[in-house]
Amino acid sequence: MINIDLSRLNPLEQEIYRNIQAYALEHADLKITKAAEMNDCSISKISKFVKKLGFKNYKQYMDFLYGREMPSKRTSNELDRIQHFIADFDQSLVDEFMSLLDSHEKIILFGYGPSFIVATYFEYKLRIFTNKFVIAVPDELSIRTMVDDKTLVVIFTATGSFRSFESVYQSTKAKGSDVLVIAEEYNTSLMSTCDRLFWLSKFPQSSDLKPHEKSRTVFFLFIEEVIQRLIEEAKALEAIQGSDI
């Protein structure tokens, strides 16, 4: 990634920038020694100018300036993992979630720690794009006091290992609610804590990370796919209603 910021350049550096740009239009290449000579400055000054402009070094600047392909830097393990996740994304989970959403009047979103942040984001989005009663809660007591037989409880968890959801499941089932667990990592123990389990990713994060240290990126990607589907359905409904006028 390159972040070019011309606004950071002082008047002298802006002059260097214009001189190099003009030279590049007429010549096939520009050595750093030549760049320093034609701008009446030191090689060190050119190197500092290039880094201030937003490039790693002078060679990268020249490759960019002349449209040459720059060698790609190896991505982080997290970016690789997310790329694999996107390529393997299962749209049927979005379909099934939409079906569950349609069949319940009340949606309660729950998660511990960072997963609660995911829940609050989903609450915000669903309130915009649906007419459902939607709320994100941070504790089990809140769930128990709000659920009924028209409620879908959605639990977000990265690993399912931070704390058991068994008591949440038992108390909500006693009131006739349905419970969906959306988990990132494979964990067979979650099967006893829900009616439905969505396992999002086959590509686990590092086992060296504690549950609260792991990213929640895959949850947000799943959420955005759900929201895009809601937007599409709303537009389709508007089109049908418009044609009936």
pLDDT digits (tens, 9 = 90+) for 115-163: 999 999 999 999 999 999 999 999 989 999 999 999 999 999 999 888 8
- CATH label of the domain that carries residue 141: 3.40.50.10490
Residue 74 has pLDDT above 70, yes or no: no
Domain count, the chain: 2
1 domain-assigned: no
**What are the C-alpha distances in Å from 219 to residues 24, 26, 104, 115, 144?**
46, 51, 21, 9, 24
Q: Are residues 196 and 94 in the same domain?
A: yes
The residue-averaged pLDDT of 212-239 equals: 91
Q: Are residues 52 and 132 in the same domain?
A: no
Expressed as residue numbers, the domain containing 52 is 6-65
Question: The dihedral of CA 152, 173, 188, 213: what is its sign?
Answer: positive
Q: Are residues 139 and 45 in the same domain?
A: no
pLDDT in tens, 21-49: 999 888 888 999 999 999 999 999 999 99
Residue 187 backbone phi and psi in degrees, to 5: -150, 105
| Buried b / exposed e along 186-224 (16+ C-beta atoms within 10 A) | ebeebeebbeebbbbbebebeeeeebeebebbbbeebbe
Q: Are residues 12 and 54 in the same domain?
A: yes
Q: Are residues 143 and 103 in the same domain?
A: yes
Please measure the distance between the N-terminal and C-terminal CA atoms of the chain and give it in whole angstroms.
50
**How far is it, in rounded angstroms, from Cα 225 to Cα 221?**
6
Q: Are residues 238 and 133 in the same domain?
A: yes
232 domain-assigned: yes
Whether this model's pTM surpasses 0.75? no
